[in-house]
Each structure stands twice: as C-alpha cells, then as structure tokens.
Amino acid sequence: MRLENRIALVTAGGSGMGRAACVRFAAEGAHVLVTDLDADAAKETVSQIETAGGSAEAHQLDVADKAAVTSLIEQVRATHGVLHVLYNHAGIPGASGLDISEDQFDLAVDVNIKGAFFLTAACEDLLQAADGKGSVIFTASVSGIVGSPLSPLYSMTKGGIVLLMKSLALKFGPLGIRVNAICPGPIATPMLPQFFGRDTGADVSDVVDSFTVNVPLGRQGQPEEIAAAAAFLASDDASFVNGVPLPVDGGYLAR
C-alpha cells in the first residue's frame, strides 16, 4: 500500500504495460485515473481494478490533442485538486525506415513527445500540490538510449523523451516533484509484434526471436515487470531517485 490515498493518472492504460501499471498502482492503494484513446479499453481496466477491490475511473483521451489534454486536467483539478503520480505511458511504434510520409512523422512525434510534454506541463500545479510526493514517470525505450537502425523515427522520439525527462527533473526537483523514465526492452504486449512487423515481408516471430537473443536473461519481459518498476518510481521507496532513465530490459543495455 505504498500509494495509499494518492491520485495517479496513467495514459494508454487500456492494455499492455499501461493496464498492468494501473492495476499495480490500484493494488498499492492509489485511486487511478485510467486514460486511453479507446474508451472501452479504459473502462475494462477500471472494471478489473474494481473487481479486485481497488479504486479507479476511466477517461477517453487522445494525448496528441492538446485541447483534450487541457480539458481532462481541468476535470482532474476540479475533482481532485492534486496529482501524486503522472505516468506518461502512451506511445506508438511509428513508421520504420526513412522513406516515410510527413503525416507518419507528425503522428509519431505528436503521440510520443507532444502529448507527454503538454500533459506534464498542464499537471505542474497539481503535482506541486502533492507536497513533495509528486512523481512523473515516462515510458521511453532502450531505443531511446542506443540507436535503432530500422526505426530512427522511434529512436528519435524516445531519445527525446529521455532528455525531456532529465530537463524536467532539473526544473521540477526544487518543487518536490521527481521525474524519471522507464526504458523497456522487448515486452510481451500487443505492441511488440506491431513494432517488429512493420517491414513488409518480415516474419515477426523470427525478428522478435533474433532481438531476444541479445537479452542476457533470454526472454521477453512481462507487462507486470514494467508495472513493478513504475510502482517503485511512484512511491516513497524512490524518494531520492530523480532524473534516471531506468532500463527494465533483462540486461539488453549491458552489452
């Protein structure tokens, strides 16, 4: 119950790692604001939380829509007046390679960077109201720390998240708000085959297997393992952890 009586907002909480984080935050005692582009998916996460005895509410949110972001945070401000945890998890693989359209480029930047930037900015006063308990978490990627030859757009956006996180750690630290990022390796979620299956003709299972060979633990991670890291960063157990891109990657970056 490390998050008892705290308010936590999670983007893309309707499936995969986002859902696992919502469930874990609620199990730790938080009231979770589950947001997702898919309203029904967000409601399903809330249903799972409530069935387990937790507390949550669902909100439809397109993080790429600044007006929608602003509207949601106005609701949070009016209803709760404080935010202890902001988990910017929403993201997409984006197009692979360099032969991409401007629309594809803009979509990846809007979802992976723009949404997280404006949402965090909108929550500054709510996080400060947490009286030193505020925690902002981003989902970056191992591809935001080392290059990805097949996915330069994805690496660019996730590398941008890492530097955004570090900049905000410097800005928000004096306000008692910690800012960190989780950098997952290959995690068994619905997005993993999408990520590796973008190239025409690629055998997704073969590509995933060849990537997993580079993970010293020899397997894909599970969404719950990312959720456990997020719960740590959200809690007082990480009270002196600030500005850290935390790999949760089975040792991939140790190569």
**Length of the chain (residues):** 255
User: What does the angle CA 160 – CA 58 – CA 228 come to, to the nearest 5 degrees?
Assistant: 55
* Catalytic residue list contains 87: no
Do 126 and 119 form a contact (C-beta atoms < 8 A)?
Answer: no
Backbone region of residue 97 per phi and psi (left: phi > 0; alpha: psi in -120 to 50; beta: other values): left
Exposed, middle or buried: residue 58 (CB in 10 Å: 0-12, 13-18, 19+)?
buried
CA-CA distance, 220 to 188, in Å (whole number)? 6
Task: Please give the structure tokens belonging to residue 89.
Answer: 């998890």
Q: In what order do the strands lie in the sheet with 55-60?
A: 55-60, 31-36, 7-10, 85-88, 134-139, 177-184, 245-248
Locate all alpha helices (DSSP H) within the chain, ordered by sequence.
16-27, 39-51, 66-79, 102-109, 115-122, 124-128, 152-172, 191-196, 204-212, 223-234
Which residue in the list 25, 118, 138, 154 is annotated as catalytic?
154
The one-letter amino acid code at 146 reads V
Which residues are identified as catalytic? 154
